[in-house]
Structure 1
Amino acid sequence: MSLLGKIFALLNTLLAFGLGVILVQDLGVRKNWTYLVFRQDLVLNGLPLDEDETTKTNINIKSNLDGLNEDALKGIFKDAGGPLKLDNRVVLTQVDEVKRMHKKFDDKEKEIEGSDKKAQFLSKLLLENAITYVDRRKYDDLVNKSDPKTLADEYTSLRESVDNLFLSSEPREKNRLPQQAHIISKSESRTAIAALLLSLYQVVDEGSEESMRRLLAVVGPDYASKAFNGHAVVLTRAFDDLEAHLTREEAIFVTEHRELLIEMGRRAKRAKQIEGFKLEYDERIKTQKALLVKEKLLLAKMEKDLEEQRDQTSKIVSNFHLISERLFSVHKKLQGYRVGNEDQEKKLRAVEANH
Structure 2
Amino acid sequence: MAQEVRGVIARAKGAPVEIETIVVPDPGPGEAVVRVQACGVCHTDLHYREGGINDEFPFLLGHEAAGVVESVGDGVTDLEPGDYVILNWRAVCGTCRACLRGRPWYCFSTFNASQPMTLTDGTALTPALGIGAFAEKTLVHSGQCTKVDPDAAPEAAGLLGCGIMAGIGAAVNTGNVTRGDSVAVIGCGGVGCASIAGAAIAGATKIIAVDLDERKLEWAKKFGATHTVNAKDVDVVEAVKELTGGFGADVVIEAVGRPETWKQAFYARDLAGTVVLVGVPTPDMRLEMPMIDFFSHGGSLKSSWYGDCLPSRDFPYLIDLYQQGRLDLDAFVTEKITPTQVEDAFTKMHHGDVLRSVVVF
Q: TM-score, normalised by structure 1?
A: 0.21
Q: TM-score, normalised by structure 2?
A: 0.21
Q: Please identify which structure carries the higher helix content.
A: 1
Q: Please identify which structure carries the higher strand content.
A: 2
